Amino acid sequence: MPRTRQELERFERQFLAPYAQFSGDSRGRKHDEPPPVWRTQYQRDRDRVIHSRAFRRLEYKTQVFLNGTSDHLRTRLTHTIEVAAVARNISSALKLNADLAETIALAHDLGHSPFGHKGETVLARLMKGHGGFEHNLHSLRIVEELEEKYPGFTGLNLSWEVREGLAKHQTAYDQPDRRKGFTAKNSSLEAQIANLSDEIAYYSHDLDDGLDSGLLAEAHLAKHVRVWAQAARAVKQAHGKLPDECRRYFTIRTIIDLQIRDVVETSERLIQSANVQSADDVRRFPKALIQYSPARRQLNRELRQYLYKNLYYNRVVHHPNLRAVKMLEQLFKYLLAHPKEIGDSAKRRLKQIGLHRAVCDYLAGMTDRYVLLEHERVFGKSLDT
């Protein structure tokens, strides 16, 4: 006989920690639906995210380098998949609900605008006075309102716990406002894991892309970034002299392993000392329990400062992105003056949400490539400056 949802829920209660978020204890969905037969509620949510249009569009959205720069560099989609893998790893080690952590990780960047954080900054400025723009809260709007796939409701109708994780997603790059309806001091441990998994992925993989592009150099990293120096020494001691690609890969892998080990060991100590007995105890606890150690946090701060100075604001990365976001701004102003040219979905909600929000929704949903094509269609040529 096939394994049923009830069996999966019993498995969770038998093998997960008491403070894990059990799928059988979900607060449910905004719109009632028959429960899944052979999946848990969070497995259903994961599948809905993966099958969404917004998820597919991540393939053509910038992570660091403008999309299309190289076939080997990461996109917002590959970053998302890597975050989900790290989240499952940490959750499994801590006996938490890996399905929930993975789902939040897969959905955390659905609302990202074209051209990464620079595109987000432009949209936030253009939407000042009109409700603003913040990609985490836009991710929530996508799963609650903007996807149109199911009869009877808009959005994906995800469980409360996944939407909580999106509302409270906050890393060094992400500073969302509190979202009405998610007022607890903290979110589930699984949502907290998705937060730190995001950081672990972009710290290590932005390093990888920087090296692959030639904008970063191993020798310079070894002198200025202790995270790299420690991992490089460990790889050399364990494996001796390796070919360049293998050595870089194994050094990045070691950095990820060290990050994960630190989070698991630190978080386990914090969870036990907090004496939480349920997922709601975690939400009521005054501080996050999934954390780096103070020493690792300082090392990561050093790494982040290095990446800003040597990668994110390197002219090779920064200048094309600035040109691209100028195109985004020009399209925004053009569409305000020509609202008939926004997409059908945005047009249907125009009276309900207003022109500025409808234009913002339309542009935020675009891929990098589509912005460039639309700009060329409207203005005839690409920007030179």
pLDDT exceeds 70 at position 180:
no
Q: State residue 140's pLDDT score.
A: 93
pLDDT per residue as tens digits for the range 306-335 = 998 988 777 777 676 778 889 999 999 999
Please give the torsion angle defined by the CA atoms of residues 253, 254, 255 and 260, in that order, rounded to the nearest 10 degrees: 90
Torsions phi, psi of 25, nearest 5? -105, 15
Res 174: pLDDT: 47
Q: How much of the chain exceeds pLDDT 70, in percent?
A: 92
Euclidean distance between CA atoms 301 and 379, whole angstroms: 42
How confident is the prediction for the chain on average, in pLDDT?
90
What is the full DSSP assignment across 67-121?
TTS-SSS-BHHHHHHHHHHHHHHHHHHTT--HHHHHHHHHHTTTTPPTTHHHHHH
* Helix, strand, coil percentages in the chain from 3-state DSSP, rounded to 5: 65, 0, 35
Q: What is the 3-state secondary structure (H, E, C) of 348-369?
A: HCHHHHCHHHHHHHHHHCCCHH
pLDDT over 90 for what percent of the chain?
A: 71
With a cut of 60, say whether residue 384 has pLDDT above it.
no
Joined together, the tokens standing for residue 328 give: 């985004």
> Which region among 162-166, 197-201, 236-240, 324-328 has the lowest average model confidence (pLDDT)?
324-328
Domains of the chain (ranges; CATH) run 46-379 (1.10.3210.10)
- Average pLDDT, stretch 211-240? 93
135 touches 111 (CB < 8 A) = yes
Quote the pLDDT of residue 115: 86
The one-letter code for the residue type at 23 is S
pLDDT for 171 equals 53
Q: How far are the Cα atoms of 213, 224, 242, 249, 255 from residue 219, in angstroms, in the given order?
A: 15, 9, 15, 15, 16
Which carries the bigger pLDDT value, residue 322 or residue 150? 150
Confidence of residue 173 (pLDDT cuts 50, 70, 90): very low
Give the whole-angstrom CA distance, residue 181 versus residue 167: 9
Range list of H helices, the chain? 5-15, 41-50, 53-57, 76-93, 98-107, 116-126, 135-141, 160-167, 189-213, 218-224, 226-239, 244-274, 279-284, 294-307, 315-337, 344-348, 350-353, 355-364, 368-379
Average pLDDT over residues 203-225: 89
CB-CB contact of 373 with 381 (8 Å): no
Q: What is the pLDDT of residue 179?
A: 53
DSSP β-bridge partners for residue 148: 155
Neighbour tally for 177: CB within 10 Å:
10
pLDDT of 336 > 90? The answer is yes
Average pLDDT rounded to a whole number, residues 38-67: 88
Instruction: State pLDDT tens for residues 55-77.
Output: 999 988 876 655 555 555 778 89
Q: Looking at per-residue confidence, does 199 or 67 come out higher?
A: 199
Q: Which amino acid is at 148?
A: E
Does 172 score more than 50 pLDDT? no
